[in-house]
Amino acid sequence: MSMKFMIMLVAFGSLGACATLPSSGPTGDQIENSAREAAESEGGLQIAVIAVDNLAAVPPAAGQFLWNLPDLGSPPTDMLGPGDVLSISIFEAGVTLFGGDSPAGGMAEGGFDPSVKVQTLPPARVDDNGDIMVPYAGRLRVLGKTVMELQEQIRNSLRNLSQNPQVLISREHIISNSIIVGGEVGRPGRLVLETNRESMADVIALSGGYRGEPKDLVLRVERGQNEARARLSDVLAGVNRDLQAYPGDRVTILRKPLMYAILGASGRTQQAAFTRDNMSVLDAIAVAGGPEPNSADPGAVFVFRYSDPERTSPVVYHFNMLDTQTYFLAQQFALRDDDILYFGNAAANQPSKLIQLVSQLFAPVVTATSVANTLGN
């Protein structure tokens, strides 16, 4: 076997090794056909394919999250609950039950009454059942009562044991009228609600503000067995201005940037973050660099998404960028978190790809022939 023949054989072997054309993905027709086939097959995904060729096909720009916490109203700011630590002072005149530590400086009808004395009891913590222990009054149920109501309750319990006792209560440590704030805030920890009218924006400000870009942060609120989330940029912009904090809430600021994927025959293929709070499909196409000139079909641009929070209803939106009005519709079409922007491959480009491929593959053959001819001479 001559050297010339061997070199040509190796070159043609390389040509035979490439039996398929390179492709950046399916064409527009293939996407629509496969979606229909899946819907018709048993157990297949029921994928809706919607052509965005009129305003009715543009879905509303819904918020990223649904705020579904129950509205419990605003409780009194001095309502007592488990964990609160109370300072209880009892004022007595005449024969005292507690034997006060010092004169209280009480005023009688004639002026200063030195017989009025005050006894400050050791700090009392409301236990997990909502009770406290008060000497001579016994175990008292205080859960859900205000400071004024508890003062009157203790006074009535001691009325028959002391001469006109007066009770003054202050809270040394407040648990029941507070919330827990954590995550991307300046000062995480326990925050006491001073008015019980604080909004979620107020809570964030009182916690030292947020860390990061609002569009990249999510506000999560746990209230009892319920949980709700909202994009922080929406909360601060007043979209959810009526979101109020409630005692016992657990508020967390989470870092969760809005993301979408760019796939197919585009100028770039990657997962990209939103460049601003609200992006349109046209913005995303521009960020992606538009359809790739040598391989993409401008009439086959798609957005894949789930249309429901439970992610059970997949939808494919088709944008024909060869149609002028589609540019205006794409400008009004709001991009959502986790959307997939796909640029379909152009079927018409397959012959040109074949020519390019053959040209590339035959280049070694021409070179090999030239070398063989040189060796043969």
pLDDT for 167 equals 93
- 232 versus 355: the higher-pLDDT residue is 232
Give the pLDDT of residue 355: 39
Closest C-alpha among 376, 349, 371 to residue 25: 349
What's the rounded mean pLDDT across residues 75-80? 84
- Condensed to tens digits (0 to 9), the pLDDT of residues 258-284 reads 899 999 888 777 889 998 888 999 999
Better pLDDT: 97 or 338: 338
**Residue 72 token pair:** 């419990």
Residue identified by tokens 């030195």 is 114
Residue with tokens 């070398």: 371
pLDDT bucket at 370, cuts 50 / 70 / 90: low
Task: Name the average pLDDT for the chain.
Answer: 80
* 8 Å CB contact between 44 and 314: no
CA distances (Å), origin 286, targets 266, 281, 317, 341, 349: 10, 9, 17, 11, 22
Rounded average pLDDT over 221-229: 88
Highest mean predicted confidence (pLDDT) among 3-12, 279-288, 302-311: 279-288
Q: What is the pLDDT of residue 244?
A: 85
Q: Where in the chain are all domains bearing CATH 3.10.560.10?
A: 28-63+258-350, 178-254
Q: Is the pLDDT of residue 352 over 80?
A: no
Which CATH superfamily does the domain covering 85-172 fall into? wza like domain (3.30.1950.10)
The count of other CB atoms within 10 Å of the CB of residue 206 is: 18
Measured in degrees and rounded to the nearest 5, phi and psi for residue 200 equal: -65, -35
Q: What is the pLDDT of residues 97-148, one digit of tens each?
A: 766 555 555 444 444 466 678 889 999 999 999 999 999 889 999 998 999 9
C-alpha to C-alpha distance for 246 and 70, rounded to whole angstroms: 10
Percentage of the chain beyond pLDDT 70 is: 77
Residue 362 pLDDT: 44
- Give the residue range(s) of CATH 3.30.1950.10 domains in the chain: 85-172
Higher pLDDT pick, 346 / 364: 346
Q: What are the pLDDT digits (tens) for 32-47?
A: 788 777 777 777 778 8
For residue 168, pLDDT over 80 is answered with: yes
Question: Domain 28-63+258-350's class?
Answer: alpha beta
The pLDDT score that the predictor gives to residue 5 is 42
Q: What is the mean pLDDT of residues 174-189?
A: 94
Sorted by sequence, the CB contacts under 8 Å of residue 189 that are 6+ apart come out as 180, 181, 182, 207
Give me the amino acid identity at 86: L
CA dihedral 335, 336, 337, 342 (to 10 degrees): -50
pLDDT surpassing 50 at residue 84: yes
Region 307-329: mean pLDDT is 89
pLDDT exceeds cutoff 50 at 10: no
CATH of 178-254 given 3.40.50.620, 3.30.460.10, 3.10.560.10, 3.40.605.10: 3.10.560.10
